[in-house]
Structure 1
Amino acid sequence: MLKGKIAKLAVSDVRFPTSLEQHGSDAMHANPDYSAAYVVIETDDGLKGYGITFTVGRGTEIVVCAVEALSTLVIGKTLEDIVSNFSGFYRCLTSDSQMRWIGPEKGVIQLASAAILNAIWDMWARAEGKPLWKLLVDMDPKQLIRCIDFRYITDALTEQEALNLLEKAKEGKQQREEEMLKEGYPAYTTSCAWLGYSDQQLTQLCSTALTEGWTKFKVKVGADLQDDIRRCSLIRKMIGPENSLMIDANQRWDVAEAISYVTKLAEFRPLWIEEPTCPDDILGHAAISKALAPLGIGVATGEQCHNRVMFKQFLQASALQFVQIDSCRVGSVNENLAIMLMAAKFRVPVCPHAGGVGLCELVQHLILFDYISVSASLENRMCEYVDHLHEHFKSPTVIRNAHYMPPKDPGFSSEMFDESVQKHQFPHGEVWRSILEKNGS
């Protein structure tokens, strides 16, 4: 199953008009349309792999162009060629001597790399007949290490240190896997309190979530202080003092402004403030972390962190207390393996970002692996969940009692229904033709 050559790579611009109902709205993204550059690769013996990278509407077409430009580095290779030296292939894809100039390992080019690599990981898991999390959990530590490009991070984590972490985590591994299969991984919900939702909608959704067993809630903040005080007060009164509240500013503030603003929200006892400032400002995050520590409020960030090098520096600078990996922003599973291992070394919990189409489906595999094979801890750990667009995937996320239940289907849970892809292709799919005609575009 690994010897067929990759003969085709197709990529589609798939968009969902979530802005019509303010789903996903926050302080910096007022009207997002959850979207994806959707990649399908196929070998000459019929094996397929499906991958996505997440976007919020305009600009998806640019990622599609980048995927097409990188496709020449994939076509003609066998899956065996790739996975036998996965770190080498990762470097080939992300460090092409000319293409890297428009990265390197960041921005559009890294989003495109992630889409392709996600499809390759999906293909590999399908070839092995396992869900991706199980493929990773069953791998020998030395094989896992061969998937990681350690360039630029050895001052924080060496190959030997990574191997030692994986070897140490073997103790109790089987019990943790059984625990996950029985109980699932703890989740928190962002679906109740998008910034564009009315108080009535927020109240109704929060009430429903509480009856469904949710105990961890995130509120979008950052547009207006008095509005945020009202909304946080409303949520905190509804969920009670025993449940967890997180707040997310989506990069809205300068450093001093973030410290001042969050201090005024401290009475609602948020566990963390997420993305308080520019996602590239490592020292700014460090200053915010230091200032908020006496209030018991941590800093969480990572969903727009470019690569493993930035995560390395965030960790070295004590600039975050919660590492938020994303399954599409960095270089797919390969780079997330490096980030999770660095987080384990620095003893910082991983709490993935999953606010977007397909992100819940993908990142659940990574966090299951992190608990079973790396961290061996659930302390201060949870994975984001949003209740949007799962119906478009063949293997949708399963939530039970506010926990992610481990996927059972082979692959990375990234395959969409053909009908969903066709109807939502931009701009010629049925859904978008109707919207554009209505708007006179």
Structure 2
Amino acid sequence: MPLNKNGLKIVQVDVKDVRFPTSLGGHGSDALHTDPNYSCAYVTTTTESGKRGFGLTFTCGRGTEIIVLTVRAMKRFIVGRNAADIFADFATFWRQITNDSQMRWIGPEKGVAHLAVAAILNSLWDLWARLENKPLWRLLADMEPEELVSTIDFRYITDVITKEEAIQMLRDKRSGKEQRIKTLLDKGYPAYTTQVGWLGYSDELVEQLCKKYLSMGFTHFKVKVGLNLEDDYRRCSAVRRCIGDDKYLMVDANQAWSVNEAIEWMKALAPLRPIWIEEPTSPDDVLGHATIAKALEPYGIGVATGEMCANRVMFKQFLQSGGMQYCQIDSARIGGVNEILAVYLMAEKLKVKVCPHAGGVGLCEMVQHLQYWDYAALSATMDDRLIEYVDQQHEHFTDPCVVNNARYMAPMKPGYSTQFLPGVLEKFSYPHGTKWQKMIKEGLFPAPDEAELVN
């Protein structure tokens, strides 16, 4: 049933640069991102009746201020609109905000512009779910196929999937949906951990964490690689010894290698039986990924990628080419839930498993909703599908993800699980938050330059 439009005129879109000092502990460190401060551009959308939606896009610290400025530049597309009208014709709104005749020049549908779009759209989806008093995954699962498909812009992807095909795919999976929802509510969704494998961690800490996550029921462990082959083999061997031969190992190079280098490096690591290599080369090199995947197939190693894939068109090419065996959508990288749904539909048609990228700030909270919907309404399977889990920054959210026995438990509160707790913005907004002022005064971080003073 359409929403009542009364009070749903959007009167304010606020955005904050929020950063957490994770670089102090080496958390999140990999071959290319050696000192990340997990951060986000955090958007609050408010209607005239006081209803609010919360959205974010994940960053690694410096540069978040650029996304903040871009969100502010995009307010013109949303302030004054009625949220009910947006939701009733969401695909049209999506095209308007991503394809403005002037602003699309700084994209189109990629980079900083698309990250800003994601934060805005995530706040709108959170608002919609709150208005319907449902968690986002249930809002999506309860939609009629026609309504869900109406939120997607199919431009550029109809050579792989059309609206009509998408509607039929969703209709075909109606049978058994309520039982699958019951399974999710009873048992949750399987997870894997990256927490054991950051490059900045000592060998002792890695071993300690492997034991911790084994005791928590995890069977899949991911390790960061890519700087030094000898060190990688030693660290991955240590993880393999800790977890045993019956558990699963994955490795992630975070774009560190050339194509041939990736192939040779992974052949050297093959005796440790990793099931995938993640982001082996440039995130834009579709054919390079396909070459790597073909070369590593005899070793039983698949290619996983997507966390920095720019848009549905790039995903289309990766899926068509055989360049990914594991599709890693990111809830804050491409254009919000609308575009992510398009990627799920293409992946399902082309029979590529979706295993979302998570971690960071709020990504675990968001991607659980997407994967829950996928199982309930689209793929109808959890076979060889996992959600990444990184155990940090959850304490800042009003509805943090809950992982028990290595499974994501169903989020039940209305929304997209993206609202910060009271006080988080006051403490961690950069650079004027109380925590940042204290750390800057203590010399833990340099004072910001003029370009960063946007909050």
TM-score, normalised on structure 2?
A: 0.96
Aligned partner letter, 1:66: T
**CA shift for structure 1 position 438:** 2.0
1:363-402 equivalent positions in 2, closer than 5 A:
363-402=367-406
Give the drift of 1:368: 0.4
Letter of the 2:334 partner, please give it. Answer: V
* Structure 1: segments with no counterpart, 5+ residues: none
Per-residue CA deviations over 1:185-216 (Å, capped at 9, x if unaligned) read 00000011101000000000110111111111
1:15 & 1:435 partners in 2: Cα distance?
Answer: 12
Task: Write the distance in 2 (CA, Å) between the matches of 1:181 and 1:430.
Answer: 39
CA distance, structure 2, for counterparts of residue 416 and residue 395 of structure 1: 8
Counterpart code for 2:275: L
Distance in 1 separating the partners of 2:64 and 2:112: 9
1:296 maps to 300
What does residue range 149-298 of structure 1 map to in structure 2 within 5 Å?
Answer: 149-298=153-302
1:289-329 residue CA offsets vs partner (Å, 9 max, x unmatched): 00000101000000000000000000111111000000000
User: What amino acid does structure 2 have at the position aligned with 1:163?
Assistant: I
List per-residue Cα deviations over 1:193-250 (Å, max 9, x = no partner): 1010000000001101111111111000001101110111111111111111110000
Do 1:190 and 1:217's aligned partners in 2 also have CA atoms closer than 8 Å? Answer: yes
Deviation at 1:174, TM superposition (A): 0.9
* Residues in 2 aligned to 1:2 and 1:116: alpha-carbon distance in whole angstroms: 20
Equivalent AA in structure 2 for residue 318 of structure 1: G
CA apart distance, 1:435: 1.6
Q: Does 1:83 align with 2:87?
A: yes
Question: Of 117, 136, 141, which residue of structure 2 is paired with 1:137?
Answer: 141
Aligned Cα RMSD in Å?
0.8
Query: What CA deviation, in whole Å up to 9, does each residue of 1:129-173 have, x standing for no partner?
Result: 000000000000000010000000000111111111111111211
1 CA distance for matches of 2:159 and 2:375? Answer: 25
Amino acid at match of 1:141: P
Question: What is the identity, as a one-letter code, of the residue corresponding to 2:401?
Answer: T
Alignment of structure 1 residues 58-97 onto 2, 5 Å = 58-97=62-101
2:221 maps to a residue whose letter is F
- Contact 1:125/1:131, CA 8 A, preserved across alignment: yes
Q: Distance in 2 between matches of 1:391 and 1:322?
A: 29
Is it true that 1:346 corresponds to 2:350 in the alignment? yes
Residues of 2 paired with 1:371 and 1:205: CA distance? 30
- Give the secondary-structure state (helix, strand or coil) at the position aligned to 2:274: coil
Matching residue of 2:58: 54
Task: Give the TM-score normalised by structure 1.
Answer: 0.99
Deviations 1:239-266 (A, max 9, x none): 1111111100000000000000011000
Residue in 2 that maps onto 1:35: 39
Report SS of the residue matched to 1:31. coil
CA distance in structure 2 between the partners assigned to 1:28 and 1:397 by the alignment: 27
1:387-429 C-alpha deviation (Å, 9 max, x unpaired): 0010000000011110001101000000001311110011111
Report the Cα offset of residue 62 of structure 1: 0.2
Is the 1:28–1:250 Cα contact (8 Å) retained in structure 2?
A: yes
CA distance in 2: counterparts of 1:2 and 1:153, whole angstroms: 32
Q: What is the rounded CA distance, in whole Å, between the counterparts of 1:435 and 1:339 in structure 2?
A: 41
Alignment counterpart, residue 128 of structure 1, candidates 124, 128, 132? 132
Structure 2, gaps ≥5 residues long: 448-455
Q: Percent identity?
A: 56
Which residue number corresponds to residue 450 of structure 2? Answer: none
Q: Give runs of aligned pairs for residues 109-128 of structure 1, distance below 5 A.
A: 109-128=113-132
The 3-state SS of whatever aligns with 1:418 is: coil
Q: Which residue in 2 is equivalent to 1:310? A: 314
1:409 is matched with which residue?
413
Moved more, 117-126 or 427-436: 427-436
Q: Distance in 2 between matches of 1:337 and 1:280?
A: 21
Quickly say closer, same or farther: Cα 1:2–1:243, change in 2 above 3 A: farther
Q: Is the 8 A contact 1:106 1:306 kept in 2?
A: yes
Shift of 1:2: 4.2
Between the two proteins, the alignment pairs up a number of residues equal to: 441
Aligned partners of 1:309 and 1:163: how far apart in 2? 20
Provide the rounded CA distance (Å) in 1 between the counterparts of 2:349 and 2:427.
45
Q: Give distance in 2, aligned partners of 1:322 and 1:181.
A: 25
* 1:100 aligns with one of 101, 104, 115: 104
- In structure 1, the partner of 2:453 is none
**1-side partners of 2:64 and 2:143: how far apart?**
34
Partner of 2:364: 360
**Secondary structure in structure 2 of the residue aligned to 1:150:** coil
How far residue 355 of structure 1 moved from its aligned partner, in angstroms, is 2.2
Contact 2:26 2:201 in 1 (8 A): yes
Question: For residue 164 of structure 1, what is the amino acid of its counterpart?
Answer: Q
1:324 paired residue number: 328
The code of the aligned residue for 2:173 comes to A
Aligned 8 A contact 2:359 2:391 in 1: no
* C-alpha contact (below 8 Å) 1:2/1:127 kept by paired residues: no
Residue 128 of structure 1: how far off its partner (Å): 0.2
Q: Which amino acid aligns with 2:211?
A: S
Paired AA for residue 267 in structure 2: T
Give 3-state SS (helix, strand or coil) of 1:357's partner: coil
